Amino acid sequence: MTFNVHTFSVDRRLCDCTLVDVDNSPALVLSRPDVSSFTAVGQKIWEVVGDEHQEIQPPSRLQQILSSRNHIVFVVPDDPHSRELSVALRIAHDLNVHHRLDAEILLESEVLPLSGLDSWSEGNIVFIGKPSSVLVQRILGDKKTPFETRVSSLGLNDQALDSGCSALFLHPHLSPAADEHSTMLFMISSDVPGLERLARLFPIRTGIAAPSWVVLNNDDSERIGAAGVTGAGVWGRNWKWNDALSWYF
């Protein structure tokens, strides 16, 4: 019997079988010589799915940003004196000191022409900026996650967040050449105090687990919860909202 399972696969190269019995349903035929995948289409009802229909299980921890196929790319506003650049420099320094990870810092104007193309680095990407950023609005406008932009603030799961909220969340990588482990991390805040709080949440310490997304309320950061955390959660399949593993105050 299965519980809390949506998809599973069987590799015939590892076991000598041609049929699988699941939940007392009709036997599932392993028609492929390698890996056969099955998905639940109803209560205890299973069917074979092809590779093109495989659902993506996104990273469930912010620490995934450290597992990069190439150097990590930081994208910051064009202002050479911005606090976003300061945060990127500090995080890049810590990554080099503690993890020996290389990093590159690019300006928004350098990457805007790439935002819809396959010219992005296959390495993980960290965007640091404001909700009003053209790049943020362009990428989040595709609605690949429940986060979206609303003029100068953010929305989450079709609800508007307070203008004083900051957010740290994983997002699908933009490069078609990137594998399922590559990802982006957004650090979005409309003010400096909120940005500094997000910087302290960047997962430098790998032993401290952090979820897929975190929302802070800058106005209440000194009196509510842990440093103003008003929401946190883990993405569901295909980067969708996961009601069972999400909380927002």
Condensed to tens digits (0 to 9), the pLDDT of residues 133-159 reads 999 999 999 999 999 998 778 999 999
Structure letter (DSSP) for residue 180: T
Among 33, 53, 73, the domain boundary falls at: 53
> Is there a domain that residue 1 lies in?
no
Listed residue (172, 186, 196, 170) closest to 133, CA to CA: 186
Residues 32 and 70 in one domain: no
Residues 199 and 167 in one domain: yes
Q: Are 126 and 91 in contact (CB under 8 A)?
A: yes
Record the pTM: 0.81
Question: What separation in angstroms does the CA of 42 have from each of 7, 25, 38?
Answer: 12, 11, 12
Does any domain span residue 241? yes
In a domain, 130, yes or no: yes
Domain that holds residue 216: 62-248
pLDDT at residue 171, as a whole number: 94
- Do 243 and 125 fall into the same domain? yes
Q: What is the spatial distance between Cα 153 and Cα 46, in angstroms, rounded to a whole number? A: 42
Task: Note the pLDDT tens digit of each residue in 20-56.
Answer: 777 767 667 777 777 777 777 777 777 777 655 555 6
Are 49 and 72 part of one and the same domain? no
Residue 189: CA atoms inside 13 Å, Cβ hemisphere, count? 24
Classify strands 103-107 and 72-76 as parallel, antiparallel or unpaired: parallel
How far is it, in rounded angstroms, from Cα 197 to Cα 168?
10
Judge if 84 and 176 occupy the same domain: yes
Give the model's pLDDT for residue 128: 97
Helix (H) or strand (E) holding 101: none
Examine the domain organization and report whether 68 and 47 are in the same domain. Answer: no
More confident residue, 39 or 166: 166
What is the share, in percent, of the chain residues with pLDDT greater than 70? 87
CA proximity to 105, closest of 140, 70, 71, 136: 71
Res 50: pLDDT: 65
Same structural domain, 34 and 151 = no
Which CATH number do you get for residue 83?
Answer: 3.30.379
Give the chain's domain count.
Answer: 2
